[in-house]
Every structure is written in C-alpha cells, then in structure tokens.
Chains A and B, each alone.
With several copies, the nearest count.
Chain A
C-alpha cells in the first residue's frame, strides 16, 4: 500500500459516518485508524506515534513532506520545488552534491534542477541524513516529485 492509497483510505474513513475503527495489516506493515469519541480529533495516526515537533517547515526552495510508508516513520521526503531536469552533480564527471548516508546541513545544496536553461541550485532547509536519492542524474522531474529521503537530525 503506497502513500496515495493510505491517503484515500483516510479520507474514506473520515467521510464514513459508520466506521469508528479501521485496521489494515500487510507483511509487517500496519495502518490503524480510529475515530475519537468527540469526532473532533480525526485520526489517531499510524502505529508508533511520532514526535510532531520534529516536523520541519517548508524550505525556501525545496519542499519536504513527511514520509508515510511503512518503515519510514520519522523520515522526510524532499520534493522538487520546480519542473525541470534533475542533476545530482555540478557537472559531468563531477562529484555528486550528496550521497546516500551523508549528513547534510541546513542550507546545503542537494542538487541542481535545470529549467529554461537556468541551473537552479536546490538547498535543503533542515539538517539530516540522506537515506535515499530517488531520481537519477539527468532525469526530468515534475513539481512535487520526491527527490531525496532524509532522516532529520
């Protein structure tokens, strides 16, 4: 079950006047939804509660989104702020800006996105560890497309 499906599931659950609890479990992955007695508090959220204080705000250029997939609790998806071509390094045969496993500082450049022949440097707005690079060098990306998976530190 991917993020979109969970989102849809939540919306179905919210809209339902009848359901009060819903639980889906699948190969080590589990979603449990429960309505509060007053119905004001909508979702009691996914398994292990997550400190909401760690949620980062949007970056200046990039956009981060909480990762909802199983086993990704507390991780952040760094999304493309613009449409264009993704470059992982400042040039051909150059070292990539960041590698998986690397720790990045707030304000550090993660990649370049070329749009209209302009190279846009994309900065990260939190400190964290790069868990995954989603996009290959030189591929086109659309607005909101996940570029990196980051563990906030």
Chain B
C-alpha cells in the first residue's frame, strides 16, 4: 500500500480523499494556491505545499508544481480527484515517468476514452449500442449535412474533446448546420486546443443513466449499479439518484452488462463511469466513459456500502477489487443535491463570505463539504460548495429526507442553489419519477 498520497485538488473532494487515506492509514499531502492557505483540505492533511497563485492554471493545473510537491514531500502516489488534472492523459503519463502512481486509469485509457469519436468506435466494435452518428471526425459542414440527413433531425454536433456540457450544440434544421459548425469549431479550439467535431442523433426526452464501474489490474470488473443523472441544466448535473426511478430490472441488467462489456473493451482499470442515454422505448446508447471518480459517487456508496475512494486507492496499489470484508449490497435509495454558490434562478456563480451556516444532519444524511461559517467562496474555482446526500429505505423516504435536509440547510452571505432544489423536491413530476434530461429547462420556465 502507498505510504503517502498527494491530493492534487481542493475543496470537498480533497477532504473526501484525505478521509479515505486516514482510514487506510496513509499519510496525506495537500497542495494549495496562496488563497487556499487556510482551507480545510490544508488544515486536515498531514502536510501541505503552496504551489502557486490563486488562478487554477498557475496552481492546481500546474503539472510541474504538483509533481515537484510530490517529490519534495516524498509522496508515492497522486490522487487527482475530479476536474483539474483528473482527465489529463499527459499528467498521468508524467506521474508514471516520475515513478509516482497516478490513482486512476492509465494515461492510455484516458487518452482513448477522452476522444469521444474514438471511444464510440471501440464500443461499437465491442457490441455496445451507440447513438447513430459519425464514426470519424467531421471534415466539413457538407459531411455534417449528409450525415444528418441519414440519421434524421434533430442532431447534435459535439467537439471530440468536449465534456461537461461544453462544446456541443443541437441542430434542428439543415440550414443552421453551417453557422453552428464553424462557431463550434472555434469554441472547441479555444477551449480544448482541438477543433475536431462529430455528429450524432439527438434523442428527445432521454434519461441520462450512468453505471459505476470498478476494474482492477487483474481483469476483475464489477458494476455497482446505476445513477440517474437526468436532472441537469446545460449538461451540468444538479441532482443524481440511485437506483433510477423508472428503470425496469431487465433493462438495468442489460445496461449493467453493457457497461462491463464497455469497460472490458477499453481495457480499463480503476473506478470509472459508463454513461448512457435511455430513450422512452427502452433503447439505450453509450455516450462516454468518465475516467475519474465522479462528483456523484456518494449515492452509490450509500446504497452499496462500498467506499469508492478507498477502493480506487486499493486498486491503484495493485489490490484485487473488493478484497477482505468489502462485500456490497443494494439497499434502499440515495439522492444527491449539488449545492452550488450560484444564483438559484440564473445559475450565475457567486462568490463571497458565508456569514451564517446551518448544516443538516441526523440519520441517513451525509454532507460532503469544505465550507464553514466565515469561509469565503472564491471566484477562482468551481461553484460547488457542498454535496447533500441522503439515504432512505425507498425513494419516497429519500425524497422526504432530502426535503427536510434542504429545509435545515441554511447559508447566508452568498446565494446558493438550495432554493432551486427545494422547489424540485416539491415538484409532482419529480416526485413521481417522471423526468428526462429536459426537466430543468421546462421546470425553470414555470
């Protein structure tokens, strides 16, 4: 097992990883920018290294600074968390060449699965259903038009290197292809340094369902059930739950098998997520593999009883997955709300000092956060300030628990998305489990 892990992240996920390391008896090194000097991830780690100024690209994204920090502290592994460098194949490669274990998949895994078109190709070859669309990159708006005619409108054009809702656009009519194509190309180049695009059928009213995968280096693969992430705004997930509300057992079984098939086809190791869209007729289509721990991993932990971060670390250390007492089960229902420091109507990030705070608690309530009263939410980083996760006997109990926990969750001094969540948990369609990826857009209009 590792002696000392450097955590190349901040906020709640850094704290989450510190907690897992502590339980495993592993020392922790946190890294921080100058403004994060007094943050919880710094306070609660065994050592800490300042790696740069506030701006992410000069600190948390600064590969040499992070590798150096690992070297001067003698860390033998790096956990990247999510975001920042977690899906950067170059970083994984450098870690490897510096003989520091990158806790995640291989750089090859990240590189191939990070290319959406390439990933789709692999899955198609492995017999995993994919959304009809181009296998190759689009070379021109003309090819896009030709493909769109074959597939049928609406279609969606995406950047090969996009993700998290960025670098994609829905096209309803042929006459709009030209303009969207070129603007998307520019946007993709500016955001990801690559302008490659591809096209797909756009599914209407789909559910976004992902499967949590664990794969060890010995080739053992299991899935720990699905997560319904359909409650999203501009492709940013806001609420996740497991099990999915309206998914038949037979479809769940088929999709779980496809997820394992996908993992095998990609020769993947570590914790990962296979994402699907499910249409109203029970058709399901592979979208992508997320090669990192997900923000929403806690709901799977509560339902299965598995600590995913610990499992991820153990797999990286060469352990067989779920060795020892780590049996899993599927028990009850779990839901997560992402509490963002954002205006609850327009979702504009908002920074500032938290002047009053009441965190919810009690049975079946878990809060993953690195905020406290008097903490200042900084404008440099992600707006996620807390994850509120509940676990109940069934979906109804989980919803009531979340409703109460949201009621108790009080933050003053900054705007948060709590009022948005409170409304969702009183919405009839949500309560009935009748929702698709368009839920938030139509919900916000009313």
Contacts and interface: CB of A to CB of B under 8 A. Distances in A.
- Asked if A and B bind, the verdict is yes
Interface in A42-94: 82-85
B51 interface: yes
A115 B94 CA distance: 13
Given A83-B69, A83-B72, A116-B71, A142 B64 contact: no
A143 B69 CA distance: 10
Contact of B50 (A116, A118, A145): A145
Q: Which 10 A-B residue pairs are closest in the complex by CB-CB distance?
A: A140-B72, A115-B68, A83-B68, A142-B50, A143-B50, A84-B68, A142-B49, A83-B65, A143-B52, A116-B67
B73 interface: yes
Contacts of B53: 143
Contacts of A144: 34, 50
A140 B71 CA distance: 9
B98 interface: yes
Nearest to B65: A83
Contacts of A84: 68, 71-72
B90 to A, nearest CB: 13
Interface string B49-64: 1111100000100001
Interface in B353-397: none
Nearest to A141: B72
A115 B34 contact: no
> Which of A84, A115, A116 lies at the interface centre, i.e. has the most chain B CB atoms within 10 A of its CB?
A116
Contacts of A115: 64-65, 67-68, 71
Interface of A is mostly: loop
Contact of B65 (A118, A140, A143): A143
Interface residues of A, number: 14
Interface of A: 82-85, 115-118, 140-145
Contacts of A82: 64-65, 68
Contacts of B50: 83, 142-145
A142 B51 contact: yes
A84 B73 CA distance: 10
A116 B67 CA distance: 7
Nearest to B94: A116
Interface residues of B, number: 17
Contacts of B73: 140
28 contacts: A82-B64, A83-B49, A83-B50, A83-B51, A83-B64, A83-B68, A83-B69, A84-B71, A115-B64, A115-B65, A115-B67, A115-B68, A116-B67, A116-B68, A116-B71, A117-B98, A118-B64, A140-B73, A141-B72, A143-B34, A143-B49, A143-B50, A143-B51, A143-B52, A143-B53, A143-B65, A144-B34, A144-B50
By CB atoms of chain A within 10 A, which of B49, B64, B68 has the most?
Answer: B68
Contacts of B65: 82-83, 115, 143
Interface of B: 34, 49-53, 59, 64-65, 67-69, 71-73, 94, 98
Nearest to B31: A83
B66 to A, nearest CB: 8
Interface centre among B51, B52, B72 (most CB of A within 10 A): B72
B72 A85 contact: yes
Contacts of A140: 72-73
A143 B54 CA distance: 11
Contacts of B67: 115-116
A117 B94 CA distance: 12
A115 B64 CA distance: 7
A116 B64 contact: yes
A53 to B, nearest CB: 25
A59 to B, nearest CB: 14
Contact of A116 (B49, B52, B98): B98
A127 to B, nearest CB: 26
Contacts of B59: 143
Contacts of B68: 82-84, 115-116
A116 B94 CA distance: 10
Given A83-B51, A116-B98, A142 B69 contact: yes
Contacts of A145: 50
A82 B52 CA distance: 7
Nearest to A84: B68
B423 to A, nearest CB: 25
A54 to B, nearest CB: 23
A82 B68 CA distance: 9
Contacts of A142: 49-51, 69
A43 to B, nearest CB: 21
A84 B69 CA distance: 7
A36 B69 CA distance: 44
A142 B68 CA distance: 9
B109 to A, nearest CB: 23
Contacts of A117: 98
Contacts of B94: 116
A45 B59 CA distance: 31
Contacts of A143: 34, 49-53, 59, 65
